[in-house]
């Protein structure tokens, strides 16, 4: 069956002009903003949250090109972002809204959640924007959604044992549950 396609493996970002091989800064101090963009929204609401696509749409840190040069990162390299509330590994990409030197933008999603503030200051709404953060280059990989949820919340694994969580097999890009009968239930040929 021919379906109109709304899938896009990763968001479209601009090319970087001059990337230095070695960055001049190891740890960059900046302001973290979160919010939504069209790629994240489309992927999330289609329901493709386990997929690589969601990881690229939501687990990406959009940076000013000058900041990327300072750190020596190229598009789709990985960076470690830390705040007072946690840390997470993200893809780095040139922001479509640049220039905004000193500010990074991460789309909402499980990745951003680990680093935003839960402080509501008695106003019901957590502080999702304007949080102090540091960014550094890293070799670690960005985790897929299911793996990230397991790594962060450890609801169904032994939480004492960090090693187990680190070395566990990836949960992958498909729902995991016993005896997937649902394929028989409906015609499924997307």
Partner 1 sequence: MTYEPPVTDYDHIVENCTCAFCGCNCDDLDFLVKDGHVVAVRHACRLGASKVMEDMDQRLLVPMVRNEEGVLEEVDWDTALDTAAKYIAESVRPVFYGWSETSTECMKEGVELGEYIGAVLDNQATICHGPSLQAMQNAGYPIQTLGEVKNRADVIAYSGSNAMNSHPRHLARYAAFPRGYFRQRGRFDRTVITMDPKFSDTAKMSDKWIGFEQNGDYGFYNALRAVLKGKKLQSESVSGIPAEDIYELAAEMEAAEFGVLFFGLGLTHTLGKQRNIDIAIKLVQDLNTNSKWGLTPMRGHFNVNGFNIFMAYETGWAFGVDFCRGYGRYMMGETNTIDLLVRKEPDCFMVIAADPGAHFPNGANQHLANIPVIQIDIHWGPSTELADVVLPGSFISVECGGTSYRMDGVPIWMKKAIDKPETCRDDEWIVRELKERVMKLREEPNVADEYVPNEGLACLLDK
Please report, as residue ranges, which positions from 153 to 182 form the binding site for partner 1 (by CB under 8 A): 153-157, 174-179, 181-182
Pairing type for strands 60-63 and 78-83 reads unpaired
Q: Which is nearer to partner 1, 139 or 188 (CB)?
A: 188
The answer to whether 133 touches 79, Cβ cutoff 8 Å, is no
Spatial distance between the Cα atoms of 130 and 34, rounded to a whole number of angstroms: 8
8 forms part of the interface with partner 1 (CB under 8 A): yes
Q: Is 43 helix (H, G, I), strand (E, B) or coil?
A: helix
The answer to whether 103 touches 33, Cβ cutoff 8 Å, is yes
Q: Is 181 helix (H, G, I), strand (E, B) or coil?
A: coil
Q: Which is nearer to partner 1, 14 or 86 (CB)?
A: 86
CB of 62 to partner 1, least distance (A): 10
6 forms part of the interface with partner 1 (CB under 8 A): yes
44 forms part of the interface with partner 1 (CB under 8 A): yes
CB of 130 to partner 1, least distance (A): 5
From 114, 133, 135, 142, residue interacting with partner 1 (rule: CB under 8 A): 114
Scanning residues 93 to 112, which ones bind partner 1 (CB under 8 A)?
96-100, 103, 105, 108-110
Scanning residues 122 to 141, which ones bind partner 1 (CB under 8 A)?
122-130
From 16, 41, 52, 82, residue interacting with partner 1 (rule: CB under 8 A): 41
37 forms part of the interface with partner 1 (CB under 8 A): yes
Tokens describing residue 117: 């503030």
Spatial distance between the Cα atoms of 12 and 35, rounded to a whole number of angstroms: 17
Per-residue DSSP letters for 73-121?
A: --TT-EEEEEETTEEEEEEEEE-TT---TTEEEEESSHHHHTTS----T
From 25, 48, 134, 138, residue interacting with partner 1 (rule: CB under 8 A): 48
From 5, 18, 21, 167, residue interacting with partner 1 (rule: CB under 8 A): 5
Scanning residues 73 to 92, which ones bind partner 1 (CB under 8 A)?
85-86
The answer to whether 9 touches 52, Cβ cutoff 8 Å, is yes
């Amino acid at each position: 069956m021919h379906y109109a396609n709304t899938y896009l493996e990763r968001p479209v970002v601009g090319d970087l002009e001059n990337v230095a091989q070695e960055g001049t800064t190891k740890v960059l101090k900046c302001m973290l903003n979160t919010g939504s963009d069209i790629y994240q929204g489309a992927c999330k609401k289609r329901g493709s949250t386990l997929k690589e696509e969601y990881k690229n749409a939501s687990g990406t840190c959009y940076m000013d090109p000058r900041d990327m040069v300072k750190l020596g990162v190229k598009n789709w390299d990985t960076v470690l972002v830390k705040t007072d509330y946690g840390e997470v590994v993200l893809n780095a990409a040139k922001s479509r809204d640049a220039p905004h030197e000193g500010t990074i933008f991460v789309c909402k999603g499980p990745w951003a959640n680990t680093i935003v503030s839960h402080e509501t200051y008695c106003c019901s709404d957590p502080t999702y924007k304007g949080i102090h953060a540091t960014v550094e280059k890293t070799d670690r990989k960005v985790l897929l959604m299911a793996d990230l949820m397991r790594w962060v919340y450890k609801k169904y694994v032994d939480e004492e044992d960090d090693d187990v969580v680190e070395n566990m097999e990836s949960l992958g890009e498909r729902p995991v549950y016993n005896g997937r009968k649902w394929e028989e239930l409906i015609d499924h040929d997307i």
